[in-house]
Amino acid sequence: TLRRKRKLNSRRRRLPPGPPSLPFIGHLHEFIGELPQFTLRKLSYKYGPLIHVKLGQVSTIIASSPETAAEILKTQDIVFCGRPFFASTDRFSYGGLDIAFTPYNDHWRRIRRFTNAEVFSAARVQAFKAIREEEVGALLKTISSASANGEAFNLTTMLLCLFNNLIYRLVFGKRISAVAGDCGRTQHHEMIMEAVAFTTELCVGDFFPSLAWLDGLTGWRGRLEKIFHTMDRVFEREIEERMKRRRCQEEKKSSTGEDTINEDVCFLDILLKSQEEMDDSLGLLLTRNVIKAVVMDMFLAGTDSPAIIMEWAMAELIKNPKSMRKAQEEVRRVVKGKGKVEEEDLQHLPYLHNVFKETLRLHPSGPLLLPRESTKDTKINGYDIPAKTRIFVNAWALARDPNSWGEDAETFQPERFDKCGGVDFKGHHLELIPFGAGRRTCPGMAFGVAGVELALANVLYGFDWELPSGVNREEMDMTESFRMVSHKKVPIIVVATPVTDFT
């Protein structure tokens, strides 16, 4: 019968090697008390660059060498570009209507093609330059006033606020913080962080699909619904407001001839315009839920990751004063005499760019990227990978592999990129893939890079940075938080001394 045939087939399968597993929980015990990327690297030392583990009931493959990563992200990208089902991401994607969490299907291909061309294009990145400069300006003012009395403050919160405001303006065309120029914590900020936490902390059903009903009993599902509906209400409110604005602009145009429709265009306008025009190539693609799902992606993928990179860049520079001095000398020499760094200046700051790359290398915001899923049975290195297997690429381990980076792979040395200058982070070199690679690579990379580099250059230009008195640089806590995205476990508390007047 079919069942016997399946059982026989699964016995004949030659899965990649892995440690012995326990009944029921599989290999989950291996992950207790240690970050998953650490555990998986350790297992790869023992069992090789392609391993198989069972996370609860779920068969999972992990690639940890440039060659095995290339099989997944390049050679067989088309087979491995599915996304597994998780209860939280399914909800946040409005049932698979977004870009990030949707399985590989016709909808994903169309929405990805559309947003690549209309939302994430180089022209759009350029068009939103003024917004980045204004928001970075707001950050500088907030740092200025926080440091007025020489007191220590929480830089991590301010960075999250910067990127949260930035995305809010890109998406909805306005700031979240009511006070112009303010960069403090807001309710929206808390909401995004809670939602990000949901997408990165898995529930019982994600490991034990047959026990998914338990998530209803533990209250997990109730909390998920609550945060989802809070976000959905914000999106509904902003969409209604923006549609009203567009109607007013249309009326103005027909009564007075004055055309303001193309002023202050935000992502939502682009989506609404395409929806109104019912573009034939898109058909009924842009329903209200699809628009909300794409907006959700912007917040979940676009706020936390840039903030994490900027947070680690500052932490590494404070911990490594030589690199800090070098970066500050460069930016102060190049930008000399100006009030602040502008985007055009960034191309003249090669050391700053190296600092950025080195931070991405040591601290990718997603150490295991986003999980993928095989869409059909296939083989890697002669091993069988059945359809619907969960796949991780340990990007964190690849970027710290001494075989690729030398014996000093674990230390922060931006200069290394002078020697291997050709290595970029755009998905061509698998030893450095903080944005992923292949079909599912991050479409917001150019937005992320532009925002982080501008903010970093400006805070280095405008302030000198120190730890609060009594805190030793050598003892600075550089541990990563225990989540699928790797914030610093403890926030950066610093003292800043202004060297330029931003008030």
Cβ at position 98, least distance to ligand HEM in Å? 7
Q: Which residues between 216 and 245 bind ligand HEM (CB under 6 A)?
A: none
Query: Does position 311 bind ligand HEM by CB under 6 A?
Result: no
Q: Which stretch binds ligand HEM (CB under 6 A): 133-141, 273-281, 298-306, 455-463?
A: 298-306
Query: Does position 461 bind ligand HEM by CB under 6 A?
Result: no
The answer to whether 370 and 83 have CB atoms below 8 angstroms apart is yes
- Of 214 and 282, which has the nearer Cβ to ligand HEM? 282
Binding mask 418-447 for ligand HEM (x = CB under 6 A): ----------------xxx---xxxxx--x
Residue type, 338: K
- Of 112 and 188, which has the nearer Cβ to ligand HEM? 112
Cβ at position 393, least distance to ligand HEM in Å? 7
* DSSP structural state of residue 71: I
- Of 290 and 442, which has the nearer Cβ to ligand HEM? 442
Query: Does position 305 bind ligand HEM by CB under 6 A?
Result: yes
Long-range CB contacts (within 8 A, 24+) of 74-78: 74/430, 74/437, 74/438, 76/378, 76/380, 77/437, 77/438, 77/439, 77/440, 78/375, 78/439
Strand partners, 496: 465
Q: How many residues bind ligand HEM (CB under 6 A)?
A: 25
What is the C-alpha to C-alpha distance for residues 273 and 278, in angstroms, rounded to an integer? 9
Cβ at position 444, least distance to ligand HEM in Å? 2
What is the C-alpha to C-alpha distance for residues 491 and 311, in angstroms, rounded to an integer? 8
Q: Which residues are annotated as a binding site for heme?
A: 442
Query: Does position 397 bind ligand HEM by CB under 6 A?
Result: no
- Of 323 and 365, which has the nearer Cβ to ligand HEM? 365
- Read out DSSP for 444-501? THHHHHHHHHHHHHHHHHHEEEEPPTT--STT---PBPSSSS--BSS--EEEEEESS-
CA 389 to chain centre: 23
- Of 49 and 366, which has the nearer Cβ to ligand HEM? 366
Query: Does position 297 bind ligand HEM by CB under 6 A?
Result: yes
Q: Which stretch binds ligand HEM (CB under 6 A): 188-196, 198-206, 221-229, 365-373?
A: 365-373
Q: How long a stretch of residues is the chain?
A: 503
Q: Give the residue, chosen from 56, 302, 414, 491, that forms a contact with ligand HEM under the rule CB under 6 A.
A: 302
Query: Does position 301 bind ligand HEM by CB under 6 A?
Result: yes
Q: Which residues between 70 and 109 bind ligand HEM (CB under 6 A)?
A: 99-100
Cβ at position 2, least distance to ligand HEM in Å? 34
Burial of 333 (0-12, 13-18, 19+ CB in 10 A): exposed
Largest Cα–Cα separation, the chain: 80
Query: Does position 314 bind ligand HEM by CB under 6 A?
Result: no
- Of 173 and 366, which has the nearer Cβ to ligand HEM? 366
Cβ at position 135, least distance to ligand HEM in Å? 13
- Of 84 and 448, which has the nearer Cβ to ligand HEM? 448
Antiparallel, parallel or unpaired: β 50-55 and 58-63: antiparallel
CA 381 to chain centre: 30
What is the C-alpha to C-alpha distance for residues 100 and 435, in angstroms, rounded to an integer? 13
The answer to whether 323 and 414 have CB atoms below 8 angstroms apart is yes
- Of 221 and 372, which has the nearer Cβ to ligand HEM? 372
Q: Which residues are annotated as a binding site?
A: 442
Give the three-state DSSP class for 304. Answer: helix
The answer to whether 474 and 121 have CB atoms below 8 angstroms apart is no
Cβ at position 339, least distance to ligand HEM in Å? 26
What is the C-alpha to C-alpha distance for residues 21 and 171, in angstroms, rounded to an integer? 46
Cβ at position 57, least distance to ligand HEM in Å? 23
Binding stretches for ligand HEM (CB under 6 A): 99-100, 112, 297-298, 301-302, 305-306, 309, 365-366, 369-370, 434-436, 440-444, 447-448, 452
